[in-house]
């Protein structure tokens, strides 16, 4: 702060930042008529810019002093304006994607289909399902991730001497994105695809593979992901892992639920203690399966063993090194294993082929297709009648015709979808017509094999390699793959028909 206290009637003080100037009039000074001019001159000597406002304030100071010359008077006569610095652009994330706001910053979010909304804390007294909480911010395609705010420009200021005080200008936030994220002209940041949102400084992207470096447990919560999931360790009891694409788990799956929209790889195996369920809409590969419920849409491959499990395979099970002990195994197509059953004769049931079920389903689909065709014909006829009299229709009749058009479209789409399904069923029936079971090492006593309409109970163990197969409409046979000799299965096992034969009276009546 500069201050002048020379032998002059005025004390002029300019602040160090140049934003204010104060003038003091010494006691005893008689301003008379020249006081204001003298003061303005002194201000000019100090470099203060004189304007109408400064002149007015100096005049007010002189008039005040004239009323009481014996007292020193001080007054702020000039003021500058500080610069208004600009604001840098910044990314404002939605609460569900902001690590600092997401559930108190603990890194946990609640899945979108849970009761809690991401970022919200539960009300007092409300129970929280900690299994359902998720540590991953997952976005759906088109979902808003945040807003990219533009920088705000700065505005220069000035000092009492008229010097410009420059303002800092706001800098843009240069967001680093790839094709997985779209930034619109209005600044809205949107996920271009479904996946987990990864934010690293100013880099943001959506990943279609979710990598979990540890286990799925209370640190991660349940997983429900639209892409691929890779788990470095295992899945703990009661947790759920779902993915619309592939799932790969390198550790042990315990009593958990795992559902892959495509392929499921259980590199560490599964030991579910009769409480876990495994689903693969396509293929499933496992080291071993113990005490679980397992369903695959297509193929199943197991390296070591399937013990006390309930397994349903949509196509084939080719596992030449696998032993199946206990439980129930359903295989639609070809089945190849090392052993069936065990030396301890643990009851083991294997069902092969689904031709009869597929045929029944195909028959029901054909019946439904006929009903839809009949209904579509009636609706079309009624619509055509309205169409022929379109020029004379009342508003109510016109509305009815519109509704009929909608029904025609709905029935036509349903008819097309069902026709496609019937064609696929016909293909399935053809592909599973032949039942084929290969056992490389041992078929143990106590095993029950269901082959289409036949039930075979193994009463004495049979050494492999053997092949059991059944052509449509024929009895099952067994081939010794070493000697290449073939006999009816009934010669080495107790075989009975699963379909009740009609009585003589029923046969005559038929």
Q: DSSP readout, 274-331?
A: EEEEEEESS-EEEEEEEEEEEEESS-EEEEEEEES-EEEESS-EEEEEEEEESSEEEE
Phi, psi of 128 (to 5 degrees): -115, 130
Q: Which one has a higher pLDDT value, 390 or 313?
A: 313
Q: Are 435 and 417 in contact (CB under 8 A)?
A: no
Give residue 2's pLDDT band: very low, low, confident or very high (50, 70, 90): low
pLDDT digits (tens, 9 = 90+) for 254-263: 999 999 999 9
Give residue 74's pLDDT band: very low, low, confident or very high (50, 70, 90): very high
Phi, psi of 68 (to 5 degrees): -150, 80
Q: Which one has a higher pLDDT value, 391 or 121?
A: 391
Least reliable range by pLDDT among 71-80, 118-127, 148-157, 284-293: 118-127
pLDDT of 372 reads 84
- What are 49's two structure tokens? 């810019």
For residues 388 and 477, give the distance between their C-alpha atoms in angstroms, rounded to a whole number.
66
Phi-psi label, residue 371: left if phi above 0, alpha if psi -120 to 50, beta otherwise = alpha
Give residue 510's pLDDT band: very low, low, confident or very high (50, 70, 90): very low
The pTM for the full model equals: 0.66
For residues 241 and 233, give the distance between their C-alpha atoms in angstroms, rounded to a whole number.
13
* pLDDT above 80: residue 286: yes
For residues 478 and 493, give the distance between their C-alpha atoms in angstroms, rounded to a whole number.
10
pLDDT digits (tens, 9 = 90+) for 382-441: 888 888 888 888 888 888 888 888 788 888 877 887 787 777 666 655 554 568 999 999
Phi-psi label, residue 504: left if phi above 0, alpha if psi -120 to 50, beta otherwise = alpha
């Amino acid at each position: 702060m500069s201050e002048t206290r020379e032998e002059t009637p005025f004390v002029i003080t300019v602040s160090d930042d140049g934003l204010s100037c104060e003038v003091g009039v010494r006691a005893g000074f008689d301003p008379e008529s020249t006081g204001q001019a003298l003061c303005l001159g002194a201000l000019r000597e100090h470099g203060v810019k004189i304007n109408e406002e400064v002149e007015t304030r100096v005049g007010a100071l002189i008039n005040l002093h004239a009323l009481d010359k014996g007292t020193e008077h001080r007054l702020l006569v000039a003021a500058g304006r500080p610069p208004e610095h600009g604001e840098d652009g910044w990314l404002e994330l939605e609460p569900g994607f902001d690590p600092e706001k997401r559930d108190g910053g603990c890194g946990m979010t609640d899945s979108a289909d849970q009761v809690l909304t991401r970022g919200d804390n539960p009300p007092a007294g409300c129970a929280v399902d900690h299994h359902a909480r998720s540590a991953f911010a997952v976005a759906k395609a088109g979902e808003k991730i945040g807003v990219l705010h533009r920088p705000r420009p700065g505005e220069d200021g000035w000092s009492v001497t008229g010097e410009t005080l420059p303002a800092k200008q706001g800098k843009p936030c240069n967001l680093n994105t790839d094709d997985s994220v779209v930034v619109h002209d209005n600044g809205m940041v949107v996920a271009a695809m479904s996946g987990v949102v990864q934010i690293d400084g100013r880099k943001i992207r959506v990943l279609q593979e979710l990598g979990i470096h540890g286990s799925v447990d209370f640190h991660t919560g349940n997983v429900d992901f639209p892409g691929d999931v890779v788990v470095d360790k295992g899945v703990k009891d009661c947790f759920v892992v779902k993915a619309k694409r592939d799932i790969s788990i390198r550790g042990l799956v315990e009593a958990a639920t795992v559902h892959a929209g495509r392929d499921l790889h259980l590199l560490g195996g599964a030991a579910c203690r009769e409480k876990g369920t495994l689903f693969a809409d396509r293929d499933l590969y496992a080291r071993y399966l113990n005490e679980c419920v397992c369903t695959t849409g297509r193929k199943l491959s197991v390296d070591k063993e399937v013990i006390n499990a309930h397994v349903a395979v949509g196509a084939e099970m080719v596992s030449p090194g696998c032993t199946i002990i206990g439980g129930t195994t359903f295989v639609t197509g070809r089945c190849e294993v090392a052993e069936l059953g065990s030396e301890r004769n643990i009851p083991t049931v294997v069902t092969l082929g689904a031709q009869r079920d597929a045929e029944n389903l195909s028959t029901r689909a054909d019946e439904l297709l006929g009903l839809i065709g009949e209904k579509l014909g009636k609706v079309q006829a009624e619509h055509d009648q309205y169409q022929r009299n379109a020029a004379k229709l009342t508003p109510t009749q016109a509305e009815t015709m519109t509704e009929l058009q909608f029904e025609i479209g709905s029935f036509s789409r349903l008819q097309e979808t069902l026709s496609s399904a019937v064609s696929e069923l016909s293909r399935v029936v053809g592909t599973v017509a032949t039942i084929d079971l290969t056992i490389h090492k041992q078929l143990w006593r106590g095993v029950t094999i269901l082959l289409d309409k036949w039930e075979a109970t193994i009463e004495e163990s049979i050494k492999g390699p053997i092949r059991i197969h059944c052509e449509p409409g024929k009895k099952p046979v067994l081939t010794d793959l070493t000697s290449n000799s073939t006999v009816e299965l009934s010669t080495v096992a107790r075989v009975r028909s699963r379909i009740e034969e009609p009585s003589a009276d029923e046969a005559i009546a038929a």
